[in-house]
A and B are shown apart, each in its own frame.
Chain A
Amino acid sequence: MSHSSMWDSISGIIRRDLLLAMRRWSDAAMSVFFLVIVVSLFPLGVGPEPAVLRTIAPGVLWVAALLTCLLSLSRVFTPDYLDGVLEQMVLVPQPLSLLVLGKVLAHWVISGLPVVLLSPLLGLQFGLDGEALGVLVLSLLLGTPTLSMIGAIGAALVLGVRGSGLLVALLVLPLYVPVLIFGAGAVTSSMAGIGGEANLSLLGACLVLSLFLAPWATAAALRIALE
């Protein structure tokens, strides 16, 4: 298969999923509100001490991003699974892993990108300064696609399974741990004055690894779920 037709099939999927998401924009809005609410709960629970808030900010923002991604995972495959589109996707000549990649990228645009765009605002709530905010955005930009990639594996595994909401959390959250460590670590180390570059490059490595492995594992899981 030529490069252009490969790209066509991916971008076709992305365009379709984004169009569907536009029609159901309230879903994306819910993710954003969820993120804002969760992040706002922490100062209320921990107390308004600025030094404390600044210390916990990277971890809180990253955990909130993790949970936001997790909550939107059921939207990656379930609608297509219910109306039978997914079964046709397995049968078309394009490799399933490519179509999966397209769907995951669309998921990231809907649920990951808003988190990235909103994060400087949330960081300000916690009193992060300019450089830390920059690293926060950069770390989320590198990390949230990885979260979508890994999450898709879990979403495919629990497709149509009873109690899938909790189950997918149990499967996916342990796999999110490295991303959380590197992502929050990048912000923390830039705040400590060591610079976040090392953590950011490790995040990049996670992204590359997940780009190679996750679509393939997701495709395998989808085939298992659909046979």
Chain B
Amino acid sequence: MIWSKYSAPQTFYPLAGRLIPWFAAVAIILMVVGLYMGFFVAPTDFQQGESYRIIFVHVPAAWMSMFLYVVMAIWAGVGMGLNARLSFMMAQAIAPTGAMFTFLALLTGAMWGKPTWGAWWVWDARLTSELILLFQYAGVMLLRTSIDDLRRADRSSAVFALVGVVNVPIIYYSVQWWNTLHQGASVSMATGSKMAATMLMAMLIMTIAFWMYSIAVILARVRCVMIERESLPTWDDKPAVIHEAVEAR
């Protein structure tokens, strides 16, 4: 089976190592293109002025934060279903990057909200679910670090990640529902229905750039996790001294 072939650590480790530079290169190129388009090609928004340019980092960050949580939950579910160690390691490697993007989405959202709405924070459905998402990332990571037994840490955080995946959409709709009740506090977040094509394009390019960045970083992190977990052998370009050491054993 292909899965078992590539999921073997000694195959996956060098494969990931070969892929990282490619994803990183594509990420950097797309970021340069996206930033150029975002700052020099995309026109000024006639309603929001230049502050709208924050969406070129805000929307990709928010997107990746949600997407990575789902991917993490999928790896966690696969790990539980197939009892595959690599899946758990992937889930472990995804969480910090996802949490970072969640934090960035909240921060840049506040930066966008202040000039646009006049408030750093409003209790809107998207912001609230993003905040809860950050708490859930924190929960997944802290649960893992509090449990010493690796097998239990893997599985417990997987269960929590899966439960959380049910929670986020419920929160999104419940807050939306709640906002219709509290009319006064609700603020429309519509960024203007007719966005210029170049704006949309820049946003899309930045999103793909962040996606590629995430893959590169996550693969690098999963390699670290592999070294930390599997004490022997090293599947890396090993210095001669290590090679000898392995031979000697």
Contact = CB atoms under 8 A, between A and B. Distances in A.
B156 A157 contact: yes
Contacts of A32: none
Interface stretch (A40-48, A92-100, A182-190): A182-190
Contacts of A161: 143, 146-147
A167 B142 CA distance: 8
B177 A153 contact: no
Interface range, A side: 20 to 34
B235 interface: no
Contacts of B138: 170
Contacts of B146: 158, 161-164, 167
Main SS at interface, chain A: helix
Contact of A178 (B136, B139, B160, B167): B167
A188 B181 contact: yes
Nearest to A189: B181
B71 interface: no
B181 A185 contact: yes
Contacts of A227: 151-152
Contact of B178 (A181, A194, A225): A181
B135 A174 contact: yes
A221 interface: yes
Closest A-B pairs by Cβ, 8 of them: A224-B155, A174-B135, A178-B174, A181-B174, A171-B139, A178-B170, A174-B132, A181-B178
Interface of B: 80, 128, 132, 135-136, 138-139, 142-143, 146-147, 151-152, 155-156, 159-160, 162-164, 166-167, 170-171, 174-175, 177-178, 181
27 contacts: A153-B163, A158-B146, A161-B143, A162-B146, A167-B146, A170-B138, A170-B142, A171-B139, A171-B143, A173-B135, A174-B132, A174-B135, A174-B136, A174-B164, A175-B163, A177-B132, A177-B174, A178-B171, A181-B175, A192-B181, A202-B174, A202-B177, A213-B166, A217-B159, A217-B162, A224-B159, A227-B151
